[in-house]
Chain A
Amino acid sequence: MITATIDPAREADLRELIASMNQQPGMADPHNPLIPFFQFTQLHFARLVILEANTNDDIRDYGVEPSAWPPTLSFVGDVDGPRNLFLAELVVRAGDGLRRIFSHCQGFEAESDNLLDWLKTHDVKPKANYVNWRGRTVVQIREEQALGEALRHQLAKESDSAGDGDAQALYGRLKAFVDEEVASLRLRLTPPAPTPPGLLIANFVHLVGVPLILLALSPLFLIAAPFYALRLRRLEESDPENIPRPTLDHVAELAQQEDYLETNQFNVFGQVKPGRFRNYTIRFLLWIVDYTARHIYNRGFLTRIQTINFARWVLIDNNRRVYFASNYDGSLDSYMDDFINKVGWGLNLVFSNGVGYPRTRWLIKGGAKFEGKYKRTLRRNQLPSATWYKGCPGINAIEMARNTRIRKGLEKSNPSLRDMQKWLSLL
């Protein structure tokens, strides 16, 4: 995520410039000349968002004077492969556009500064990062989507009776069809690139290392736990909630860029509750979230939620503010209700450390369960994206997973009759 403070005198110009990239409010034209997103074959999602502290004054309820937060431009991308490689490609393909965009920010001299260096120095790493399916690349998604489409078309050409009887024959015909399409380059099924050994080792060290560290520290945790619990409960009892309704205009501005595609973008930007207790708590919990997302929830689901494509939690402004960005399937209503009913506890863990959040008990209870308060807090702290791009439009995470299963079913050697029948029912 690249962030840069916007020059206050040029904010209106910047908004206008970014709006020129859109074909709909908040929806990027993939071919826009400033950042031609379609050229990036590793880019799942991208957005530009202006981080504004709309709810900055909420922290006054805690007896704390709000710190100034000038509007800040943030570029968020979810990419395959190393981030530096993406930044380099970004400079090559969209250098001029980015220079124009960032020239509205403080401290950027479009003529003199080296763009790549500038991007790297303004790159902020998220504290936690969730990817629906680690290792599934844009190229793979598109190829498998084409495979699924081709198979459905071919199936429609099969006579009506097909499939009623001989599963084996039908499987054979469809497999032969795909082989033929691949051989004649009408379909492409690139084998997945092997994970570099360095990354494998790093992953393993992380996988084992984190529990080891926690284990080593566990005596300390045990000693600290009663004190922690006491303090937590005292804060949970006394922390003010801040739950006025969002204004109709604010909600309308957010809604105008939702529900065009099967996937929507989501930004919330708020403040971490004052004091070291909350600050350490949220940092520790995000560390855990990041660990589980990397090693456990990397195959299509984040606890019971299967609709998040990408999500990231970023702490900025000296860990005083938290920015959460996600790309989720469905409309916000179902996203919010899903969260309340399925993972209210998980949401509470992290966001109850944010200013204004509905009252929790023991970090996981209550909170989001206060439906009305929760939905209001969420909308109030939500921000629109200035522009947003989806690299694989038309399909959601569930369909991507199904397309992968379709491909796997074809690549299986010596499938049994049951395998073939299962595969056919995927189509």
Chain B
Amino acid sequence: MTTQSENSAQTGDEFADMQRLVRYGNGHLPEACFLLLQVKNAPAARGWLQNAPVTNAAEIDPRPPAALQVAFTAAGLQALEVPTDIIEDFSTEFIVGMNADVNRCRRLGDTGANAPSNWDWGNEVIPHLLLMLYAQTDELQSWIDTVEDAAFASAFEVQQKLVTATLGPKEPFGFVDGISQPEVDWSNRVSTDLHERNDYINKMKIGEVLLGYINEYGLYTDRPLLDPRLLPAAAILPRAEDNAALHDLGRNGSYLVMRQLDQKVAEFWQFVDSASGGVAAEREQLAAAMVGRQRDGTPLIEAASTSASAEKENDTPPDNQFSFDFDPYGQQCPVGAHIRRANPRTGDLPPGTSGIISRLLRTLGFKRRHPNEDLISSTRFHRLLRRGRAYGPTLVPEDAISEDAIEAERGLHFICLGANILRQFEFVQNAWLMNSKFAGLAGESDPLLGNREPLFGGEATDRFTRPRAGAPARCHAGLPQFVTVKGGAYFFMPGLNALKFIATHADGDDK
């Protein structure tokens, strides 16, 4: 086993090797735009990358006035002439990509209106690079001009420029967003031992977001490890913690999932309004039930008081200190509510397990307190670090319910970071959000994100139910599709040494 200090990222060196987005959402930089690039000329592109002003995660004061982050698809690494056998050591999901496999599309719910054939980008021409530019108010354009220098123009072609709205706390439907974020355990204090993780906590091992570190299983995720004796350029990479002879291309890098999610804000509020008979208070209640929070972010579960064993975590905002343990039937917060699907806050064992006997009985499957208990996997293996930005003009609910509300292009450039696309993003998307049988439910997928496509056998997935104590659940049928996927791709956001390797690996060839 690795000692704690070896596996800790608390030293400044490690943060200086990470891109800033891993550690911070760049919230102090309210303007952002995302550029999807094609490599025109590989040597020129590598040359530009060698000098690109990519922002690292070191804590500096004042905070950087602008930031640049960069990520690559597998096609992009190929275009930059990274050897194929190196690319093949990345994960299968990254290599195959988000849209190339119809079976993956079916799992992710990218069918019907969400099908890649309807996307605005990322379907036929896979982007090579993603550049993320962040700046202070009114300074984005000058930052773009700085980044897009003369060398840039000869190296890349801009395939798509994704603009974002000035950062505010609310996503387009009008709800305060981004409250629930896993807290990365930078100091490496949380145990991965199954016997010490009965209950949900909001901390997550570094290895769940970055490659090259121990993950929640206490293991290292597969990634390319290079031998500098065979490939001298690899010597600039950090050594692999789990194999001292090899250098780690993944270290301090993360997979980045990007999806453009179009949000029909007027349609959402009009549906909610008509389902509530036009009564404002009921409209708010229904919308809050679908999300699991009120518009100001207050969870429908009373915060902090709910789980006896949930440790109070200092860095966690109070609106994020709760679990669903005391609301097993979903009578406070519906089981199918968006925040409950996306983050069910389950521990390794069902709630209320204490002592060896109880643990043994639970492990053997006994002592379940109600029929749908223990259906959901332990959440700690399926966390997403979200870094997305919204786009489009604001439309407040009060205006959205009006018949002449204008449905403009609004939505979210969803971005999440993780070390395992399959176990994190794809699992959450498939098993929790899209799954019409989530946690014992039937006939309903995520009230916001569901694609409403019937199952293969024709069963509907367009319902939403609000369980009540001692009475039949209130059921809303015929939910329209509120969110449509407009593009997406899987990227790898390397550490800065790895970026240097990608930019310089072929330099020896020229000599």
Contact = CB atoms under 8 A, between A and B. Distances in A.
B440 A402 contact: yes
B329 A297 contact: no
A345 B217 CA distance: 15
Contact of A262 (B371, B382, B427, B455): B455
A170 to B, nearest CB: 8
A223 B4 CA distance: 42
Contacts of B217: 340, 369-371
Nearest to A333: B427
B364 interface: yes
B375 A398 contact: yes
Nearest to A338: B377
Contact of B431 (A252, A331, A418): A331
Contact of B437 (A152, A164, A330, A425): A330
Nearest to B465: A427
A399 interface: yes
Contacts of B107: 259, 331, 333
A8 interface: no
Interface residues of B, number: 54
A255 B374 contact: no
Given A245-B92, A259-B106, A424-B470, A297 B437 contact: no
A394 B430 contact: no
Contacts, number: 139
A332 B440 CA distance: 17
Interface in B424-441: 426-427, 430-431, 435-437, 440
Interface in B94-112: 95-96, 101-104, 106-107
B316 interface: no
A18 interface: no
Interface in A368-427: 369-372, 393-396, 398-399, 401-402, 405, 418, 421-422, 424-425, 427
B473 A427 contact: yes
Contacts of B186: none
Contacts of A248: 92, 95-96
Given A259-B107, A333-B427, A421 B471 contact: yes
A337 B375 CA distance: 12
B468 interface: yes
A329 interface: yes
B475 A156 contact: yes
Interface in A296-334: 297, 300-307, 329-331, 333-334
Interface in A225-284: 245, 248, 251-252, 255-256, 258-262
B472 interface: yes
B15 to A, nearest CB: 27
A167 interface: yes
A341 B456 contact: no
Nearest to B106: A259
Contacts of A427: 472-473
B374 A262 contact: no
B305 interface: no
A300 B372 CA distance: 11
Contacts of A262: 436-437, 455
Given A330-B435, A371-B217, A398-B372, A422 B470 contact: yes
Contacts of A395: 442
Nearest to A152: B475
Given A156-B475, A370-B219, A399-B437, A425 B422 contact: no
A331 B430 contact: yes
A334 to B, nearest CB: 4
Interface centre among B106, B107, B430, B442 (most CB of A within 10 A): B442
Nearest to B221: A372
A393 B470 contact: no
Nearest to B458: A394
B471 A301 contact: no
Interface in B379-431: 381-382, 422-423, 426-427, 430-431
A163 interface: yes
A101 interface: no
A164 B371 CA distance: 24
Given A304-B362, A402-B440, A337 B371 contact: no
A404 to B, nearest CB: 10
Contacts of B473: 425, 427
A155 interface: yes
Nearest to A305: B365
B125 interface: no
Interface in B273-307: none
A341 B363 CA distance: 10
Interface centre among B107, B426, B436, B458 (most CB of A within 10 A): B107
A340 B378 CA distance: 11
Interface string B441-461: 010000000000001111100
A330 B436 CA distance: 10
Contact of B455 (A163, A303, A394, A398): A394
Contact of A297 (B106, B365, B471): B365
A156 B362 CA distance: 38
A258 B103 contact: yes
Nearest to A330: B431
A262 B364 CA distance: 25
A425 B427 contact: no
Interface in A154-182: 155-156, 163-164, 167, 170
B348 interface: yes
Contact of B365 (A156, A261, A301, A370): A301
B375 A255 contact: no
Given A425-B472, A427-B472, A261 B455 contact: yes
Contacts of A252: 101, 103
B437 A396 contact: yes
B470 A334 contact: no
A388 to B, nearest CB: 12
B440 A398 contact: yes
Contacts of A302: 365
A126 B33 CA distance: 60
Interface centre among A24, A301, A372, A405 (most CB of B within 10 A): A372
A318 B368 CA distance: 40
A305 B423 CA distance: 19
B230 interface: no
B378 A167 contact: no
A260 B457 CA distance: 8
A394 B470 contact: no
Given A252-B103, A334-B431, A341 B378 contact: yes
Contact of A399 (B362, B374, B442): B442
Contacts of A260: 106, 455-456
Interface in A325-365: 329-331, 333-334, 337-338, 340-342, 345
Nearest to B382: A337
Contacts of A372: 219, 221-222
Given A306-B375, A425-B470, A333 B426 contact: yes
Interface string B79-105: 000000000000010011000011110
A334 B427 contact: yes
Contacts of A306: 374-375
A86 B450 CA distance: 41
Interface string B355-368: 00000001111001
Given A259-B430, A301-B365, 16 more contacts: A248-B92, A248-B95, A252-B103, A255-B101, A297-B365, A300-B371, A307-B375, A333-B427, A333-B430, A333-B431, A334-B430, A341-B381, A342-B377, A371-B219, A372-B219, A401-B371
22 contacts: A248-B95, A248-B96, A252-B103, A255-B103, A255-B104, A258-B103, A260-B455, A302-B365, A331-B435, A333-B426, A333-B427, A338-B377, A340-B217, A341-B194, A370-B217, A372-B222, A396-B437, A398-B372, A402-B440, A425-B469, A425-B471, A425-B473
Interface of B: 92, 95-96, 101-104, 106-107, 194, 217, 219, 221-222, 329, 348, 362-365, 368, 371-372, 374-375, 377-378, 381-382, 422-423, 426-427, 430-431, 435-437, 440, 442, 455-459, 467-473, 475, 477
